[in-house]
Structure 1
């Protein structure tokens, strides 16, 4: 570590000894392209880099070679970002917390789970496309950045492209119609700038029967320029409600004859009703101030205020049969008698409505099972409410022509409140706030009470029940970075320190954990740092070679630290920081007709944690598998190229070939929700096991044509392989292997479950035209864009998981078969935009 800190200081010190040299000033042209076109593959045909060299060969030896600039996506991301998403591709095999998204220099990554809540600003495509990107460990002006990639969004009205646009989208995706209006005014003579955008989305049914989507997005930005100051206000949000799809077994596909089968809906009084809804609304207010203290010193400060709620709906039941139509006990495969199995198969095929939720039956049970109509079934909401306050300040100092320094300080506090809420009693009169899984502990025992402070609480629609707790998360951040530019070399280094605290506040005194479930828990504190550095050799204005390295630690995610925060404040025993080491080595060729990028990467992580909660047949209870000491290794090569041929043709290709594996054997412990002790401990036998959930080999190729008449055509294909399903930890324990029958090979239950390879063909076309021209040269324009994904209409397996059930006595991995997500076939999106 001393060497790393010494190198960081050396960059800054060397600048003062370097005589000033005036760099070549490059002419940069801002290019504005519709974000919808970017999403579907149009935008990558604009130049990826702005630094075309004008040096002659004789001047290169003694001249200042310009740095590698990149304001848009890198070539690899531009080519593959949308095409590979069907198989949940992630760059370098990294999980979500290693990618970064910021708005006005405030990170959007949540402290709770590390995820980026893209849905919070979904639908605002016309304004949220004003981004800058940094891929991998590349330096950037704003923050330390992420290991995967970093996106920096600027929504100031004065920095958005002036426009008046009306957009209509028609598609057969999650939503079927989208209407948007966007207006951005230029700055007036009083220094005011304004921008606004609204969008509506809606959809009903489509490829998946019973699906629905409704959304309303809004945006307002106001800027005031005053001498060396710029004051900004931004308000944005997205209120969205949509149904969710579920993974299904191959048996259900065979029974129904379609890969679009979904078990989460059924008929109620002959009308379709879906049980699985998702709601999200988190409006954000940002107040920013930019101050040019000096021609070389700039200060940027932003305050973020956000509050909102999201929830998922799901069925819950008490002392009644499982209402899910795909429950394994209701299927032919569960019956051992072949005749009974065949009879059930024939019956289900003749009565397909039995493979959907029977809403009318649940209403009948609720109204007739007890005299007082206590609920046997109900529809619940699993709610997460959040409040966030973030204050960020950054100083940018151009210390010399060669040295750029930046310093950042940030404080953030996030408060999350979790509980369940009754959405619908399904015809019943009331329910009781009891823990049904603890009912068998002892007759009359207080363990059945979800809240001992309010025992036997009667519940109505809208009441909170089950669990109720709050997470208070705080973080202080300090960061410094330096970018040092020489005629032939560029150096960069950055260091960041964070102090993070977690604290659980229980609103219920749980009957199983009365001593450590109610009130504020002891806070947990974590100190972490990140450091990265890189060097780029500029052979000339077209050829660049670079090496970058980083070492960082992160606190465990709060959702992985607490074993079962729903009912107690107990945490994992091995409470350590997660550590990551990464190297990348690459080459960039940026010629007028040929662009090539090559990037080799190597990533190691140590001491990661995870908690998996699910129903365990053996314990007959909800259990929590707490995993610790998880290690991974990701290594691979990213290649991309785009060659522009005479006549408007461009051929492009990209490849990611990686090997992502778990290293060492993580520890696990099992705690049931109705038992105040650890029931089981051990290690998982997953050393050298492939990391699941994403393809490790992905190939892309495309051929595009662009004419002078503003016509654009693109045909591309993507191939993805080496992908495995999320694994069941029960099958990878010592006990599972030792208790197998003698005729069962342990390799059969431990080997990973693979997804078949997939080849996807996409097509897109665009056309733009001027419909009216004014004397000043301006005009009205129409843009058309059509994107067709999966042209071959394949219903491929896009992902899935091993069921968290295992036939321990028999060792039969097919008793609880894998569940898969299927693509809905060919999807299209037609965008019509009028620019006024």
Structure 2
């Protein structure tokens, strides 16, 4: 018995000793392939031991066994199991462990609404690039929101005239009227003309959790016009984790931005809230383009149970900014700079008035959006997603009207030696003071308004403006505002039903209603006493207007849209949209496939009591209903854990815009209405590994029956136009993008895209008079477009970038972006000769951007930190032409000088030179 006890004690002693000496340590770093994943759970399978990664994604865990498995998990990513083997008392470093996103790579940052059609990695068969909030916060700086996408394949972004929010984006050769922009699943393209004005969304970057660019067909189930692609912007959710941030940034041209935000996190009672406020101002890089804008975002959430999730958001960004919207030829830039160094900041629209900056071109707008999103999990196989939204746009843009003795405000007669508009001289003329016009002293005389029944004649200095040839005799300068306000309401209801383990069915409806208010009012009489409206108001001819209205945005988002006294024109555009969609998705093992169809009916109505006398039936037209829709299908196959391939194809029947239904600002229907037809094909290959990811895409898109109208008319058809039919574009290209993690600290990224975008075949015209009626007589015009290059975007783009963590949380990064095969924007109507030279190719250019980041943790446990960021854009101060409106070849005008091989008579916008910004952000 004693011997047995001794043996038992000896065995226990050996077990204890063995346990003590078998203790080891396992270390490593967890990332998503690009960035560290702090807070990742790390546990030993079958044991209670566990830990989480620190803020650099690093972990260290003790083990009492020599071998086993680690289970690594993080929300939004597939769990990863890693085997380990460690010697007694030793340490095993597993290196960098990359987690692969699960079926929703954006899960950790997005609103989980089923209305949002985001693409899923290695599952959704579309070409896609995703940019998360951290990169937007770091690298955007003073750039425009679309510019964060400029290193995405087949994307071309310019600042146009350079005003705050005036940038534009082009994907695969299609402008943003043919790119669907979605915010939390809600379409934001204007319902009359599909435009997107980024100044209305200037604060969007502050509240974005992720932005996903789906090139080509995209994954949206709605019948939207994503010809070139879809931009999905996903904003912060109210139930993000508790915390907030304060930030401030400043940069060149007196740029200043301050911002504050706070999230309550999900409270025990199911409520949550998120608030963000910011303010931005600056002088603008381009001369005379100062600006000021605010942004607010309020989100409220309620999750009473696991079945219901309700999110309410209200956001807006009231802003005003002076613009450079008058195109300038290269010779003028040289005139106010030098032949070798043109003054690329020159702006012909601005000057000073009473010692202060003044510009005839000014944009002001406030477009708040409210939405209520309800997700209802009916059962384990059925989910209903509903969103109702409203938007109330108020504002417009100003411009100059009138003149003096045939000279408008842009003429040399009212310009200083330095090229500025002499607004003090304009006021002097308007108020009857003697001024020198083209070297001759002139004095304006008072006038008396025409006698109109019920209207008191006005005697004094009266400004007036008449269109057409009469403009040379008009007198007096005014700044008028072209108002484009709207009321927009809509809703989307989508039901997701899991039919089996392999099949999922989605179907739903999309309804919208839109009312646009279009008119002109007086912003400033510039010293005169009244304005005589001699143009379009047939019900009130020779109307005298004295009221002047502010060119600042209305803070009240629900203010009346059309109470102002109106001049020149006034019409209402009513648009109704009814859509239905369905999608069937098959998913089993490595294969995912889908087929999707959508149909929409758009109805257009025009109301105009300025052009048409009451009770003319054309004062209010009937709704014109036009049917459209799309069908698309695709499949993705995961060859193995690293490789996948996909294909997709689709057909769109796209309704024309409002101005094609009712052309020439008249209420007579276009007699040549035709839906545009788009056919797209795409194929892709993807590779994923711990060190390297890459995507290759091939695409071909044909755009038929593109609408084109030319206002060119002969002396026998003043006010008429040509309506061209049969215009076809073909866009083919290849895209490549890759990311490499050379070491834990050193990362590389790059992309390359090359395309062939050109017109196919010729086009013939139909001729209409001023009232939109077919015009008898005249010569039919042919457009010789076959094989002409599509302009306005670079057909070859490339970039390469790198980031290096020099010290812990101290990072340097740089990126070089190159653009080639950039052609001038052409008007197809300008190709009436068979011997045309095609599209003018602009000089290629490359830009380098660089940045510095530094993070300091104030409280590592809570995650409180200071973040410092310095951005320098166009480090090398490259001078380059970003776009050209004209298509003039040097050989067309051999007597004209050239700049970089381009005739100096071309109207162009140069891109920005070197700019910088510095920001400090405190997260708590």
TM exceeds 0.5? yes
> Which has a greater percent of helix?
1
- Do 1:75 and 1:640's aligned partners in 2 also have CA atoms closer than 8 Å? no
**Residue matched to 1:358:** 422
CA displacement 1:596-618 (0-9 Å, x = unmatched): 1000000001111134568x897
Alignment of 1:613-652 (within 5 A): 626-646=723-743, 648-652=745-749
Higher relative contact order (CA 8 A, sep 6+): 1
The yes-or-no answer on 1:370 pairing with 2:445 is yes
Deviation of 1:487 after TM superposition, in Å, equals 1.5
- Do 1:202 and 1:214's aligned partners in 2 also have CA atoms closer than 8 Å? yes
Deviation of 1:516 after TM superposition, in Å, equals 7.2
Equivalent residue in structure 2 for 1:553, among 643, 653, 664: 653
The yes-or-no answer on 1:434 pairing with 2:498 is no
**Residue matched to 2:203:** 123
Mark the CA change 1:316 to 1:184 in structure 2 (over 3 Å): closer, same or farther.
same
CA displacement 1:605-655 (0-9 Å, x = unmatched): 1111134568x8979977755443321100000011112112522222211
> Partners in 1 of 2:718 and 2:893 — Cα distance?
18
**Residue matched to 1:193:** 272
**Residue matched to 1:320:** 405
Mark the CA change 1:556 to 1:664 in structure 2 (over 3 Å): closer, same or farther.
same
SS in 1 for 2:823: coil
SS in 1 for 2:794: coil
**Residue matched to 2:382:** 297
**Residue matched to 2:677:** 579
**Residue matched to 1:85:** 157
**Residue matched to 2:762:** 665
Unaligned runs of 5+ in 2: 1-29, 38-73, 84-99, 107-117, 120-126, 136-147, 160-167, 338-342, 433-443, 447-459, 464-475, 549-564
Deviation of 1:729 after TM superposition, in Å, equals 4.8
**Residue matched to 2:519:** 419
SS in 1 for 2:335: helix
Equivalent residue in structure 2 for 1:465, among 567, 586, 593: 567
> Partners in 1 of 2:423 and 2:224 — Cα distance?
52
Alignment of 1:720-731 (within 5 A): 720-729=819-828, 731=830
SS in 2 for 1:722: strand
Deviation of 1:762 after TM superposition, in Å, equals 1.2
Deviation of 1:224 after TM superposition, in Å, equals 1.7
- Do 1:388 and 1:412's aligned partners in 2 also have CA atoms closer than 8 Å? yes
Mark the CA change 1:209 to 1:97 in structure 2 (over 3 Å): closer, same or farther.
closer
Mark the CA change 1:66 to 1:648 in structure 2 (over 3 Å): closer, same or farther.
closer
Deviation of 1:295 after TM superposition, in Å, equals 1.8
> Partners in 1 of 2:892 and 2:875 — Cα distance?
43
The yes-or-no answer on 1:241 pairing with 2:329 is no
Mark the CA change 1:491 to 1:220 in structure 2 (over 3 Å): closer, same or farther.
same
469-478 or 786-795, which deviates more: 786-795
> Partners in 1 of 2:531 and 2:270 — Cα distance?
60
190-199 or 142-151, which deviates more: 142-151
Deviation of 1:243 after TM superposition, in Å, equals 1.1
Deviation of 1:135 after TM superposition, in Å, equals 4.3
SS in 2 for 1:692: coil
**Residue matched to 1:96:** 176
Deviation of 1:96 after TM superposition, in Å, equals 2.2
> Partners in 2 of 1:570 and 1:666 — Cα distance?
24
Mark the CA change 1:585 to 1:779 in structure 2 (over 3 Å): closer, same or farther.
closer
- Do 1:303 and 1:392's aligned partners in 2 also have CA atoms closer than 8 Å? yes
The yes-or-no answer on 1:768 pairing with 2:867 is no
The yes-or-no answer on 1:210 pairing with 2:294 is no
RMSD: 3.8
Deviation of 1:245 after TM superposition, in Å, equals 1.8
CA displacement 1:297-349 (0-9 Å, x = unmatched): 1111111111122311110115633334467xx89xxxxxxxxxxxxxxxx9x
> Partners in 2 of 1:831 and 1:540 — Cα distance?
43
What's the TM-score, normalizing by structure 2?
A: 0.73
> Partners in 1 of 2:36 and 2:250 — Cα distance?
20
**Residue matched to 2:609:** 507
- Report the structure number with the largest CA radius of gyration: 2
Deviation of 1:102 after TM superposition, in Å, equals 2.5
Mark the CA change 1:104 to 1:127 in structure 2 (over 3 Å): closer, same or farther.
same
267-276 or 793-802, which deviates more: 267-276
Deviation of 1:412 after TM superposition, in Å, equals 0.3
Deviation of 1:527 after TM superposition, in Å, equals 1.0
> Partners in 1 of 2:36 and 2:176 — Cα distance?
27
- Do 1:298 and 1:395's aligned partners in 2 also have CA atoms closer than 8 Å? yes
Mark the CA change 1:318 to 1:454 in structure 2 (over 3 Å): closer, same or farther.
farther
Equivalent residue in structure 1 for 2:818, among 691, 714, 719: 719
**Residue matched to 2:703:** 605
Mark the CA change 1:581 to 1:752 in structure 2 (over 3 Å): closer, same or farther.
same
> Partners in 1 of 2:851 and 2:883 — Cα distance?
25
SS in 2 for 1:452: coil
**Residue matched to 1:390:** 490
- Do 2:484 and 2:519's aligned partners in 1 also have CA atoms closer than 8 Å? yes
The yes-or-no answer on 1:268 pairing with 2:326 is no
> Partners in 2 of 1:359 and 1:171 — Cα distance?
30
**Residue matched to 1:39:** none
Paired residue total? 733
